[in-house]
Structure 1
Amino acid sequence: MNDKPSALIHVVEDDAAVARLIAAALERYGFRHACFGRGGDFLRQLRVQAPDLAILDLGLPDMDGMDVLQQLRGRHRFGLLIVTGRDDTHDRVMGLELGADDYVVKPFEPRELIARVRSILRRYQPLAAGEAEAPRAASFAGWRFECATQRLISPAGGEETLSLAEAQLLTAFLERPNQILSREQLLAGRDVCALDRSIDLRVSRLRKRFEQGGHSGKFIKTVYGAGYLLAAPVSWC
């Protein structure tokens, strides 16, 4: 018998009908949940209890969802799924850059929402006892990436901590340098459609990290019709 409680999901959505739809889907699939109609109420609850994942609407009545994202990623570590009615690529890119793990656009199918929730939760699962790997670090094009801490260190010595999604994407490239990786390969293990363009947004976000560190990021190359490639030698230690 498994006595482990199901994952706790916080739903931050001011549209009561949408919140009910999400809550019903979560309950149907066995997730615990709590709903918040305002960003401030959600942030105050985090002082008492953090969820395993938050589903966050960007259009909240008391504060912009982007502001909520900025506060979350500086202080907390749990899964973040954006639910938005903003059919704007810029908003989705910005959300991912601020640390969201994925997004879904309204209207959406409840099954798609649950698939994305499960996918994000898997990424945040701790390793079982005895499964911990020895810390690894990769050096490439003057950069260094430490897997255990998710730290990216620039050639000039500047340091940034990547989000979990960014770290997983960069690790996929570093483990198979100078190989074309399809979107399906980069989305391995995630319950999303292979045609989903969120991987393109993730690659764009990762490139921007390198640009901010004083590099063009051009060693992550787009191979049109095939996928992406990290064009740099990589050494591990």
Structure 2
Amino acid sequence: MTDAPLIAILDDEPEIRRLLSAALEEAGFRTIGFARATEFEAALRRIQPDACLIDLGLPDRDGLALVHRLASESGAAIIIISGRAQVQDRVTGLELGADDYIIKPFEPAEVVARIRARLRKPQRDAGPGRQQVRFAGWSADFDRYTLTSPEGAETPISHAEAEVLRLFLDNPRRLISRAQMLETLGGTAGESFDRAMDVRISRLRTKLGEDPKNPRLIKTIYGAGYIFLAELG
């Protein structure tokens, strides 16, 4: 079990933490629970969870601000669990870097399935050496969730950004439609998914030093999708 993925659960309701821990551990995951954001953030100095389940209604911290920080600094998959059911809440959470959004009340089996889907995606077709990919002078490290520029400058990327970049790198010089993104990356079709993809691609372009008016690597084909133009290797 020491190699089992570690799932961090941040929710101030003990019963929800217990319910999620029981379901996840039965499914073969390791879990660690926290009631407050301060405890969770302190623990991140010594642990590296593979996925984080984050409740937005925290007693000591704004949950969305925490999600944004995790997306910027951590390679963990981030799944929001919240009673906020409005479309705008889901859109905002995904735009800030969450990989998924689950509305309370939920079925524990659904949470387990969503985590499995999120953790499975970055390992897609990862043969020997495929966790580090070079393209157009850049290097993407999917173990460390970093991008290294041709000049050697290193920039962290979030789990969500890594999923999109991996999809492009697996399909260079091919049109990637929204439907293919939805099928490959998972999610629910609609405005929240489309907005989340737009934000992730915009962040990738920024980290790749792209000119937003004339990007060289990630081209938008309006009404159709995107094409990744870089040569690999």
Same fold (TM over 0.5): yes
Report the equivalent of 1:84. 82
Structure 1 unaligned runs (5+)?
A: none
Between the two proteins, the alignment pairs up a number of residues equal to: 222
Structure 2 unaligned runs (5+)?
A: none
Deviation at 1:63, TM superposition (A): 0.5
1:160 and 1:200, CA in 2 relative to 1: closer, same or farther beyond 3 A? farther
Q: Tell me whether 1:235 sits opposite 2:223 in the alignment.
A: no
Aligned partner of residue 236 in structure 1, secondary structure:
coil
RMSD between aligned alpha carbons?
A: 3.8
Distance in 2 (CA, whole Å) between partners of 1:98 and 1:18 is 24
User: Which residue identity is paired with 2:212?
Assistant: H
Match of 2:135 among 138, 161, 164: 138
Deviation at 1:104, TM superposition (A): 1.7
How big is each residue's C-alpha offset from its partner over 1:75-97, in whole Å with a ceiling of 9 and x where there is no partner? 44322211122234444344334
Report the equivalent of 1:49. 47
User: Which residue identity is paired with 1:228?
Assistant: G
Q: Which has the higher helix share?
A: 2
Aligned partner of residue 43 in structure 1, secondary structure:
helix
Distance in 2 (CA, whole Å) between partners of 1:160 and 1:56 is 25
Match of 2:12 among 14, 33, 55: 14
Report the equivalent of 1:170. 165
Q: How does 1:1-237 map to 2 (within 5 A)?
A: 4-123=2-121, 131-133=128-130, 135-139=132-136, 146-148=139-141, 150-151=146-147, 160-173=155-168, 175-184=171-180, 186-188=182-184, 192=186, 195=189, 199-209=193-203, 210=205, 214-216=211-213, 219-223=219-223, 228-230=225-227, 233-237=229-233
TM-score normalised by length of structure 1: 0.71
Aligned partner of residue 235 in structure 1, secondary structure:
coil
Distance in 1 (CA, whole Å) between partners of 2:86 and 2:188 is 21
1:33 and 1:202, CA in 2 relative to 1: closer, same or farther beyond 3 A? same
Deviation at 1:27, TM superposition (A): 3.1
Deviation at 1:38, TM superposition (A): 1.1
Aligned partner of residue 147 in structure 1, secondary structure:
strand
Distance in 2 (CA, whole Å) between partners of 1:33 and 1:77 is 17
How big is each residue's C-alpha offset from its partner over 1:206-228, in whole Å with a ceiling of 9 and x where there is no partner? 343247954147932453xxx62
Distance in 2 (CA, whole Å) between partners of 1:185 and 1:162 is 18
User: Which residue identity is paired with 2:160?
Assistant: A
1:206 and 1:195, CA in 2 relative to 1: closer, same or farther beyond 3 A? closer
